[in-house]
Structure 1
């Protein structure tokens, strides 16, 4: 069964987020547990957990995922920013665990001139300082590669895990289609798709990819620009998504949309993905 949903707001409560997802036609979902552009994590109560889990049971929906704040930078050479980032991730992981959400994802960050190798090593070092809850898996999201961001390649993502004190039992990977494409990974033909999965299998281990972000790209292959477009209406196109979501390596994974919130919206994109799923 296709597991597809969208990022939704918790402004009216976690149970309301479930209702919103259901109205959109989704059966999985993603939320923040604080402002995406701030450091403060929402205080999660047992009542939040009970209401959220009860709502999920009623509609048989999941698995959900929490997305980390955009301020997090584990690759930074600055100790103060690194410490704030570690505290933020730990707080969000703990909130995720309290809610009973099995996945948490964040962007590794930027080395800001310290070099890619140092940036990757910094991510691994900061990962090692976390206390990842037993009921939550931390996921590293691949990046488009703009500027000095790290996590553009499968090799970098793998090194972040391998150099840390954690293993793929506790840390996994979330792949974003727009980021993949902008980083130079093509999947618009079946041969290209097979090559992408083959490389992911060899470098990361396909079984360690746990979640997918579905977004088309406003910019060409290899542009390193992270600007999302509606499914099938960007440079990836319908065939690219048909190849991606139907490949045996990915078709059973949960998929969340982060497409533009304009007149089309998430409901339109969920229907589009469903129409491409075979």
Structure 2
């Protein structure tokens, strides 16, 4: 079954987020567990958590994924920022576990001048300090590559996992289509898609890609600009998403949209994904 949904707000509570996802036409979803631009993590009591789990089960919406705050930077050379980031990652992971959400994803961060090698090593070493709950998998998201961010190349993500003591038993990968395209990974034609799948498999492993972020790109291949567009309306286009969404390597992965919040909206994008998939 195709599992596709959108990032939804928790402003009315986690249980309400399930109904919001259903209203959009989604059957899986993504949430923050605090402000995306702050360190505070929402406190969730067992009653609220159970209500969320029951609603998700009853409406058959899942798997869910928690997106980490944008402030997290495990690649940084600054010890205080790294410590705050680790504390936040741990708190967000624990909240995901309380809610019964099986996946948690964040951006690895930026080396801010220390160099890519040091940044990648920092991420791996700091991941070793995280206590990943047994029923949650921590996912690293690939980046577009702007500035000094690390995780643009798939081999960097693989190195982060392999440097950590957690390994693929506790860690995995979330691939963002806009980020892939902006980083220079083409998949708009059959041959290019085959090359991408081969590279994913030879670096992080297809089996370790647990979730997908579906976003078109406002900017050309290799631009390193992380600006999302509606599905099929950007530089990737419908042909590119047809290659990606129907390929055997990714077609069964759960996927959420982070497309622009404008008049088209999430429902339009969810339906567009379903249309493209049914063309296969």
Using the size of structure 2 for normalisation, the TM-score is 0.99
CA distance in 2, matches of 1:238, 1:104: 28
| 1:205 match | 205
The CA deviation at 1:131 is: 0.4
| 1:112 match | 112
CA distance in 2, matches of 1:73, 1:264: 32
| 1:147 match | 147
When the two structures are aligned, how many residues end up with a matched partner? 278
Matches within 5 A, 1:83-162: 83-162=83-162
The CA deviation at 1:204 is: 1.1
Residue by residue over 1:194-245, the C-alpha shift from the partner in whole angstroms, topping out at 9 and shown as x without a partner, is 1100111111111000000000000000000000000000000001001101
The CA deviation at 1:270 is: 0.3
SS in 1 for 2:273: helix
| 1:12 match | 12
CA distance in 1, matches of 2:241, 2:123: 30
CA distance in 2, matches of 1:69, 1:249: 29
Does 2:40 match 1:43?
no
| 1:80 match | 80
The CA deviation at 1:47 is: 1.1
CA distance in 2, matches of 1:15, 1:240: 35
Q: CA RMSD in A?
A: 0.5
| 2:265 match | 265
| 1:3 match | 3
Q: What residue ranges of structure 1 are gaps of 5+ in the alignment?
A: none
The CA deviation at 1:60 is: 1.2
CA distance in 1, matches of 2:265, 2:132: 34
CA distance in 2, matches of 1:249, 1:164: 26
Runs of 4 or more above 3 Å deviation: none
SS in 1 for 2:62: coil
The CA deviation at 1:99 is: 0.3
| 1:71 match | 71
Matches within 5 A, 1:238-277: 238-277=238-277
SS in 2 for 1:5: strand
The CA deviation at 1:187 is: 0.3
Residue by residue over 1:24-83, the C-alpha shift from the partner in whole angstroms, topping out at 9 and shown as x without a partner, is 000000000000000000001101211101101111111000000000000000000000
The CA deviation at 1:106 is: 0.1
